Amino acid sequence: MLLFLSLLGMFLSVILLYFNARKFTSAIYLGVFFFLISLYGFTQHSILYSKSVVLVGIVFINIGFLSYLIGPALYLYVRSVLTDRARLTKKDLWHLLPALIFLFASFPHIFTSWSYKTAQAARLIENINNLEVIRASLLYDFIPVGIIFLSRLVLVLGYAAASAVLFLRWLDQNKNSEVLSHQRYMVQWLTVLLGFLFILVICQLVPMTEAYLFGDLNIFFALELLQLMSGIGLAGLLISPFFFPAILYGMPRALEVTPHHGNSIALGDEFHTVAAAQTKPGFEADYLIDICNRMDKCMEEFQPYLHQECNLASLSRLTGIPAHHLAYYFREVKEQPFNEYRNEWRIRHAKKLIRDGKSKELTLEGIGKLSGFSTRNTFYTSFKKVEGISPREYISR
């Protein structure tokens, strides 16, 4: 079961990073968190249950330093979600210190021969309590082995507590804000994430502490209830993202916006008004006005919709509005897919070309391509959806 969950978590982390890392920086932290905690589970399975000299030889000590990055990855993810700022600062480099210390202390073992590593692995498989006598790290000369292994879980627990404090402070600061009342989805997600992590870490920490105090690691296997709860915590942690598919949008906040005066840019009756956007809060009202105006102004001045690769990412670069804010705006406020919004601008451009007489010089397919559509069928379908008639009927009228 532990092996299956660990492999599932690694797969999940790869999916998160591959599809979302370019759009949402916070996804990098979340993907790294899931990968590291899954790798920790895989390491635990290899050492405690696999009985494989090869697996134990690979994971024992060699990748142990990575477990010290689980907590920092979680903390940076929660912080980036709550503040909408995902950039690392120089101070954040201190989070890497425990991992670097363990890595440097492990160099003597990492660079030993494979035969030596498999010999040590065989000793562990024979008796797990040999962890106390295998001197695989320079730290073992100063710190008891049990303390070192417990330090990983204690560090994760500390970062989980720090993340929870950040979360609770954010809830308290925004308890009377419209932002909170319309962000229940993300509040629920962070509650589930931190809740399952606390269950997992505590149910791992208690039996390992008892095993260390009594000097017998076999006690770890004897506490079956805690092992079951630990499995539930890991399973819940790794499966929960499938129930929160939009977790990467982030907590919307109004950050350094440039106010625009007036209600909207007059671009025609096909498009929304700011007054309509204000009726569904989530961001502050001024920020909604700013998003509306900057998007429409960008479309009018730069005409990005004429390019086939026009998407949220490119619009984000042009407007300076975070891509996940735009995604939230279209999903929750405008309640319209971005593709439809973009196609409305393209149809508006196609109509202008027709009114200017271009239909006498170009085919309808040519007009569609000049308006940003990649195919004739897409142009026809979108035009009829927006105008209620085909392009040919529009010309005849």
**What six digits make up the tokens of 35?**
């990968």
Q: Calculate the alpha carbon distances from 174 to 145, 177, 193 in Å.
A: 44, 5, 20
Give me the pLDDT at residue 174, please.
Answer: 73
Between CA 185 and CA 251 the distance in angstroms is 9
pTM for the full predicted model: 0.67
Q: Provide the residue type at 237 as one letter.
A: L
Q: In this structure, are residues 223 and 207 in contact, taking their beta carbons and an 8 Å threshold?
A: yes
- Tell me what percent of the chain is helix, strand and coil, each rounded to the nearest 5: 75, 0, 25
Between CA 249 and CA 284 the distance in angstroms is 17
pLDDT mean for each 10 residues of the chain (397 residues): 81 78 76 90 84 87 89 92 81 92 88 88 83 78 83 93 93 68 74 93 87 73 74 86 66 42 36 40 62 88 89 84 78 84 92 87 88 89 89 86
Between CA 59 and CA 117 the distance in angstroms is 10
Within 13 Å and on the Cβ side, how many CA atoms surround 32? Answer: 19
> DSSP class of residue 201?
H
Give me the pLDDT at residue 334, please.
Answer: 82
**Domains in the chain: boundaries:** 2-249, 274-396
CB atoms within 10 A of CB 383: 26
Residue 138 burial (10 A CB sphere; 0-12, 13-18, 19+): middle
Tell which CATH classification among 1.10.10.60, 3.40.50.620, 1.10.10.10, 3.40.800.10 matches the domain 274-396: 1.10.10.60
Where helices occur in 21-60 by DSSP H, the ranges are 26-45, 53-59
> DSSP class of residue 271?
S
Q: Provide the residue type at 283 as one letter.
A: F
Q: Is 266 helix (H, G, I), strand (E, B) or coil?
A: coil
Question: CA-CA-CA-CA torsion for 49, 53, 54, 59, nearest 10 degrees?
Answer: 60
Place of tokens 């998007």: 295
> DSSP class of residue 371?
T
Place of tokens 């129930």: 243
**What six digits make up the tokens of 318?**
């042009």
Tell me the angle at which helices 376-387 and 338-355 cross, rounded to the nearest 10 degrees. 90
Tell me the angle at which helices 2-20 and 26-45 cross, rounded to the nearest 10 degrees. 160
Give me the pLDDT at residue 155, please.
Answer: 94
Residue 110 burial (10 A CB sphere; 0-12, 13-18, 19+): middle
Give me the pLDDT at residue 84, please.
Answer: 72
Between CA 11 and CA 24 the distance in angstroms is 19
Give me the pLDDT at residue 68, please.
Answer: 93
Place of tokens 């991992």: 99
Dihedral angle sign, alpha carbons of residues 346, 351, 356, 359: positive
Where helices occur in the chain by DSSP H, the ranges are 2-20, 26-45, 53-59, 70-83, 97-105, 107-110, 114-126, 145-173, 178-181, 184-214, 219-222, 224-239, 274-278, 285-302, 312-319, 323-328, 338-355, 364-370, 376-387, 391-396
